[in-house]
């Protein structure tokens, strides 16, 4: 049983403090879990954990070789930000809280550890509890680090690794110096596992940690009398870490990675504007391209340099640790390089543009360390150590003075970091039932999402929301084309986004070319195979009111030999392909008042409309569509065999419009559509022309279509022919 010593009480109180502050920082996520979620990247990390569980539990799948996104490309996930270090927690908690709840818990744990481990490390550097608490809160409250929480960057929120590795190395040095060999072996293994954890967090964290651990390691080596043993311990730590990353991590796949990554331009990389960004945070602090820090640490360093001259630059001892600390000037020196790198490619002072050292780091990493501001938390950690060591030699006196001073500093810190300004949250992904249906099907196929778009850490094409549709892979558990990979070669996705006739058209990046799209669609339906095509109307520019949608529905509905509409949920229309073993259901309109009715302009009319219709609109409280987008307009449907009276409830634009109607290419005659209000136009459908009723195409070929703008009526430049409210099919006994 742990003894209740002053030290354990102190650390228990500190842990409680950082738990409460983490709860304060993340309370919107915690209190609205299941309703709201953090930031754009939530889809990626939730899918990551599902994928790891799926790959580990399914024969012949490999976590790091993956065609479940960007299909049919087999992608190398060696450089993908899996954030696998948190996977065990997700695996345990997800069955209880669901994946979004599990991720929120991970965010809370990461936030708590960022503060508490920083506090523990600052204490090891002979910093009194007062300043160690303030330093931990400064890291938790930092706008830059809160950005990672509120964008679900589970890979980049883990700044506790830096002070934790400093602590582990300190313990290891102590065991070497005092010849505690068993403890030394244990700590070598422990820190080797810590190196593994760095690599499983994000591949940038070994770089981040090196900024503090390498200079600290060199300092301890210079001070030590057992340098050979200490070097051996360091080699052991790195060796164990690399071995774990090789046998249980991404290292072999990183070495196998080939391909061309998108070019990066150093001047496009966002740095923290100097000096403004180090004096106060922007009002909107949660965007990646407008990073600011706030003035607490930067101004604190300046005040310390001016006023805290009593603090000794020499190492000293204290009651709670008998190993010398590094000293305040050491940590100020360590803080300087990441501070300079975080400024970006250039700074402008007094009208003069000054190139900054980040340009060298950018070239050294071939442009892949693409966010200079991500180095700023290293500056904050080291700066907190400099401030804490400097002011720890001052004694405030009575405890109430510490309490009052602490409250004042926390208030200043909260206002400085805009703690009161919570980043906006996104609604959770809508739980479509049709994805559940797909997940329950025992078939192996590919799901194509529309709009089609893929993205990487370097580039997102077009509507970035379409990339988020990867999230639904957790539900349907099928391969898909849409998705995100942190690092992917251009060869994996560039053609989809620019050159591919089908997928570029479905991503609204090129015009429809039916002579190319039809054979390609026919081929992939069989070869992939494609099971479903899911059309998200709300993501097509202006949603249901965009002409691209009418073109997509018209094209798909005119090819019943390839696809058929099967699900309509919320604003999403789902087509099943003819490859699918369950086949295509009949497309018979609902019967209303003894007639099969296609309600034109209603939510379900995408099941039936063909080329030639304009977007739906409401006129006098009823849903309608105008025809005239092409020289003729089509409907596609199925009917029970027999004869029908077809009734078009329609109105012509400008003047009566003679219109010839066809069924499956056979003329039914010419009928006048009047201009004087919505009027039923009655056309006979003989039983012999209806046949078995499958795959019926009704065509209306009108005499004229005129745009209101050409007549000077308004700015509507759509060619308008006839407005249609409904098409009714009345069976004839």
pLDDT at 517 over 60: yes
The 3-state DSSP class for residue 16 equals helix
Least confident of 276-285, 314-323, 615-624: 314-323
- The string of pLDDT tens digits covering residues 631-685 is 999 999 999 999 999 999 999 999 999 999 999 999 999 999 999 889 999 999 9
DSSP assignment letter at 321 = B
- The string of pLDDT tens digits covering residues 542-554 is 554 456 788 999 9
For 14, the token pair is 């500190």
- The string of pLDDT tens digits covering residues 79-102 is 999 999 999 999 999 999 999 999
For residues 151 and 6, the model is more confident at 151
Report domain extents, the chain.
Answer: 6-159+266-416, 161-257, 429-585, 588-733
User: In the prediction, which pLDDT does 309 show?
Assistant: 62
* Long-range contacts, 230-233 (Cβ 8 Å, 24+): 230/173, 230/176, 233/172, 233/176, 233/184, 233/187, 233/188
Q: Which fold has domain 588-733?
A: Jelly Rolls (2.60.120)
pLDDT at 243 over 50: yes
Q: State how beta strands 595-599 and 722-732 pair.
A: antiparallel
pLDDT at 431 over 60: yes
Q: How far apart, in whole angstroms, are the C-alpha atoms of residue 509 and residue 548?
A: 11
User: In the prediction, which pLDDT does 34 show?
Assistant: 84
Cβ contact 139:384 at 8 Å: yes
pLDDT at 321 over 70: no
Element (H, E) at 208: helix 205-223
Element (H, E) at 722: strand 722-732
- The string of pLDDT tens digits covering residues 559-606 is 999 999 999 999 899 999 999 999 999 999 999 999 999 999 999 999
User: In the prediction, which pLDDT does 278 show?
Assistant: 93
Element (H, E) at 136: helix 129-141
Q: How far apart, in whole angstroms, are the C-alpha atoms of residue 452 and residue 713?
A: 37
Q: How far apart, in whole angstroms, are the C-alpha atoms of residue 141 and residue 115?
A: 9
Cβ contact 549:615 at 8 Å: yes
The 3-state DSSP class for residue 455 equals strand
Reported as half-sphere exposure (CB side, CA atoms, 13 A), residue 731 has a value of 14
User: In the prediction, which pLDDT does 507 show?
Assistant: 84
User: In the prediction, which pLDDT does 3 show?
Assistant: 62
DSSP assignment letter at 651 = E
Q: How far apart, in whole angstroms, are the C-alpha atoms of residue 694 and residue 710?
A: 41
User: In the prediction, which pLDDT does 286 show?
Assistant: 86
For residues 40 and 498, the model is more confident at 40
- The string of pLDDT tens digits covering residues 254-293 is 999 988 888 888 888 899 999 999 998 888 888 888 899 9
pLDDT at 312 over 50: no
User: In the prediction, which pLDDT does 33 show?
Assistant: 86
Mean per-residue pLDDT over the chain, rounded = 91
DSSP assignment letter at 429 = P
pLDDT at 360 over 80: yes
Give the closest residue to 137 by CA, choosing from 156, 118, 124. Answer: 118
Dihedral angle sign, alpha carbons of residues 589, 591, 597, 598 = negative
Contacts for 102 with CB less than 8 Å, ≥ 6 apart: 49, 89, 90, 93, 94, 96
Q: How far apart, in whole angstroms, are the C-alpha atoms of residue 226 and residue 230?
A: 6
pLDDT at 178 over 90: no
User: In the prediction, which pLDDT does 311 show?
Assistant: 44
Cβ contact 38:425 at 8 Å: yes
> What predicted TM-score, i.e. pTM, was given to this entire model?
0.92
For 296, the token pair is 């607490």
* Average of per-residue pLDDT across 128-136: 94
User: In the prediction, which pLDDT does 315 show?
Assistant: 40
Angle at which helix 129-141 crosses helix 399-416, to 10 degrees, equals: 20
**Local confidence band at 314 (pLDDT 50, 70, 90 cut-offs):** very low
DSSP assignment letter at 441 = S
């Amino acid at each position: 049983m742990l003894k209740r010593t002053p030290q354990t009480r102190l650390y228990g109180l500190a842990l409680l403090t950082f738990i409460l502050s983490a709860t304060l920082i993340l309370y919107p996520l915690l209190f609205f879990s299941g309703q709201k979620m953090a930031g754009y990247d939530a889809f990626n990390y939730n899918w990551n954990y599902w994928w790891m569980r799926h790959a580990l539990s399914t024969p012949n799948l490999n976590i790091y070789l993956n065609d479940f996104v960007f299909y049919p490309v087999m992608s190398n996930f060696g450089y993908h930000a899996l954030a696998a270090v948190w996977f065990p927690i997700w695996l345990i908690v997800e069955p209880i809280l669901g994946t979004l709840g599990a991720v929120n818990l991970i965010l809370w744990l990461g936030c708590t550890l960022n503060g508490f481990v920083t506090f523990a490390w600052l204490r090891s550097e002979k910093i009194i509890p007062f300043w160690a608490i303030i330093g931990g809160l400064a890291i938790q409250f930092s706008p830059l680090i809160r950005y990672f929480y509120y964008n679900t960057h589970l890979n980049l929120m883990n700044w506790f690794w830096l002070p934790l590795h400093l602590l582990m190395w300190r313990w290891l040095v102590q065991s070497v110096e005092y010849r505690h060999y068993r403890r030394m072996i244990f700590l070598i293994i422990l820190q080797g596992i810590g190196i593994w954890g760095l690599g499983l967090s994000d591949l940038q964290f070994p770089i981040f940690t090196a900024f503090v651990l390498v200079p600290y390691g060199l300092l301890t080596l210079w001070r030590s009398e057992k340098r050979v043993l200490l070097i051996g311990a360091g080699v052991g730590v790195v060796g164990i870490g690399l071995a774990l990353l090789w046998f249980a991590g991404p290292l072999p796949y990183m070495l196998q990675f080939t391909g061309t990554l998108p070019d990066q331009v150093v001047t496009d990389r966002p740095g923290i504007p100097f000096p403004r960004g180090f004096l106060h945070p922007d009002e909107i602090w949660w965007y990646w391209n407008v990073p600011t820090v706030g003035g607490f640490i930067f101004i604190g360093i300046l005040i310390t340099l001016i006023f805290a001259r009593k603090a000794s630059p020499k190492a000293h001892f204290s009651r709670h640790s008998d190993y010398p600390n590094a000293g305040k000037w050491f940590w100020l020196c360590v803080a300087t390089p990441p501070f300079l790198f975080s400024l970006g490619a250039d700074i402008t002072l007094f009208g003069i543009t000054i190139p900054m050292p980040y340009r060298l780091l950018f070239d050294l990493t071939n442009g892949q360390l693409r966010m200079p501001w991500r180095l700023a938390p290293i500056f904050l950690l080291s700066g907190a150590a400099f401030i804490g060591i400097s002011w720890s030699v001052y004694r405030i006196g009575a405890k109430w003075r510490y309490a009052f001073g602490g409250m004042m500093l926390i208030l200043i810190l909260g206002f400085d970091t805009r703690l009161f300004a919570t980043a906006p949250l996104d609604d959770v992904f809508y739980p479509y039932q049709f994805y559940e249906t797909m997940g329950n099907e025992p078939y192996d196929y590919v799901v194509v999402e529309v709009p089609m778009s893929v993205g990487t850490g370097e580039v997102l094409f077009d509507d970035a929301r379409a990339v988020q549709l990867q999230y639904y892979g957790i539900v349907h558990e099928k391969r898909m084309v849409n998705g995100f990979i942190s690092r992917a070669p251009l060869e994996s996705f560039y053609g989809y986004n620019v050159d591919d006739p089908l997928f570029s058209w479905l991503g609204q990046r090129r015009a429809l070319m039916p002579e190319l799209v039809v054979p390609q669609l026919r081929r992939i339906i069989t070869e992939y195979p494609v099971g479903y095509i899911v059309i998200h109307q709300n993501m097509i520019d202006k949603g249901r009111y965009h002409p691209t949608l009418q073109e997509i529905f018209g094209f798909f509905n005119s090819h019943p030999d390839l696809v058929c509409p099967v699900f309509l949920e919320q604003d999403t229309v789902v087509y099943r392909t003819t490859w699918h073993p369950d086949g295509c259901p009949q497309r018979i309109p609902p019967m209303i008042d003894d007639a099969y009715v296609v309600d034109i302009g209603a939510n379900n009319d995408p099941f039936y409309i063909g080329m030639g219709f304009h977007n739906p609109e409401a006129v006098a409280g009823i849903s309608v569509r105008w025809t005239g987008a092409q020289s003729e307009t089509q409907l596609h449907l199925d009917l029970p065999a027999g004869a029908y009276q077809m009734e078009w409830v329609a109105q012509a634009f400008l003047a009566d419009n003679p219109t010839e109607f066809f069924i499956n290419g056979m003329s039914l005659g010419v009928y006048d559509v009047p201009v004087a209000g919505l009027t039923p136009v009655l056309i006979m459908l003989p039983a012999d022309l209806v046949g078995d009723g499958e795959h019926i195409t009704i065509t209306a070929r009108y005499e004229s279509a005129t745009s209101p703008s050409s007549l000077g009526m308004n700015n509507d430049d759509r060619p308008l022919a006839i407005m249609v409210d409904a098409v009714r099919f009345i069976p004839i006994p």
